[in-house]
Amino acid sequence: MDIKTICIHGSDWKDPTGCISVPVFQSATFGHPELGQSTGYDYARVQNPTRECTEKVVARLEHGCDCTSYSSGMAAISMVMELFKPGDTILSTDDLYGGSIRLFRFINEKNGLHFRFVDTSDISKAEAALDDTVKAIYIETPTNPMMQVTDISRMADLAHSHGALLIADNTFMSPYFCNPIDFGADIVLHSGTKYLAGHNDTLAGFVVCKDKEIAEKIRFLYKTVGGCLAPWDSWLVTRGIKTLALRMEAAQKNAGTLAEWLAGHPKITQVLYPGLAGFKNKEIHDRQSRGSGAMLSFYTNSHETALRVLKSVRLIRFAESLGGVESLITYPATQTHADLTEEERESRGITACLLRLSVGIEDVNDLIADLSQALGE
């Protein structure tokens, strides 16, 4: 079945009333026919019909055997970290969403896990950092916000050769453009708040597993720890996914046009976008993705120019998050990556001149006009 069709029909929802839209089953508990029997639903922390439909469609989109859903993307990452025990080491991409780094450093390390941060876009650096304590490699590709690309297949081979898992955060690409499991990833993560839901109106997170053994471990943690996605939020994500293909195609088209326009602007010194010619590791990205996505970052010619853009945009909103129908611009140095030290930010290229743009589905000429006036033309 084509991915566009899966977006609409992937939950396999069948209702005896003929209802087309999945209902919101706003119930915390479910009755038993008799002792020892179940309808398949007992308590909503374990499963709920509305949430089950959402999980089914996300699992199918990511080519996984099972999916569990959570109240946020960070809750999903937290659950995966529960697979590991004190003393285990996670080898992680160094250019990573700041919230993930905060979780690793201030929560997971406190509980005995160790994290080793390297540039996974360079396979030799990842190889040099591996030892017997490494139980998983954690990647984003492209990364947030520097758009660095990691070769998923080579990283999967490297992880598996050392008995480790490969965990991939696929939020930036969405399952419409990339399926890391097809290239060897064992676990795929999503902040469903972003492209999957797509309307900046709900929080959600997803964990998709490649095989049954890992899926069963995650399911046990899921029902034990909690943090599951509520029925109403599940319904919003399912509804959002129905238009995922349309939104991703429209946003990507806009992003490509904007990236080209920004690259030619005299006040922009560099644009980071996989669709541009000369983008680092573009060949790798194109091999493992079906598109360039709708996220880009760019450097202005001065700190003052960056601040002017943030203050002056009118149509584009200066706000955190990404992946919605609205275009959003963010200042990584003091927003998404505020918990990094200044030295760490500078070493990663997260300078005072860097802006990150989540391109929406507005008319691209209106977006160009907004950026043009914000840049002071």
Residues annotated catalytic, as ranges? 45, 97, 169, 194
**Contact between residue 329 and residue 312 where contact means Cβ atoms under 8 Å apart:** no
Q: What do you get for the CA distance between the two ends of the chain, in Å?
A: 48
**Contact between residue 63 and residue 75 where contact means Cβ atoms under 8 Å apart:** no
The secondary structure of residue 294, as a DSSP letter, is S
| 270 DSSP β-pair partners | 299
> Could you write out the DSSP letters of every residue in 97-165?
-HHHHHHIIIIITTTT-EEEEE-TTSHHHHHHH--TTEEEEEEESS-TTT-----HHHHHHHHHHTT-E
Please, is 317 exposed, middle or buried when counting C-beta atoms within 10 Å of its C-beta (0-12, 13-18, 19+)? Answer: middle
Of residues 119, 240, 148, 155, the one with CA closest to residue 190: 240
- Helical axes 364-374 vs 244-263, angle rounded to 10°: 40
Q: Cα angle at 337 between 336 and 338, to 5 degrees?
A: 100
> Could you write out the DSSP letters of every residue in 69-105?
EESSHHHHHHHHHTTS-TT-EEEEESS--HHHHHHII
Of residues 162, 138, 167, 120, the one with CA closest to residue 284: 120
The C-alpha atoms of residue 234 and residue 193 are separated, in whole angstroms, by: 11
The C-alpha atoms of residue 315 and residue 147 are separated, in whole angstroms, by: 24
Going by DSSP bridges, is the β-strand pair 295-300/354-358 parallel, antiparallel, or unpaired? antiparallel
**Contact between residue 147 and residue 282 where contact means Cβ atoms under 8 Å apart:** no
The C-alpha atoms of residue 312 and residue 303 are separated, in whole angstroms, by: 14
Other Cβ atoms within 10 Å of 156 Cβ, number: 23
Of residues 6, 18, 22, 7, the one with CA closest to residue 232: 22
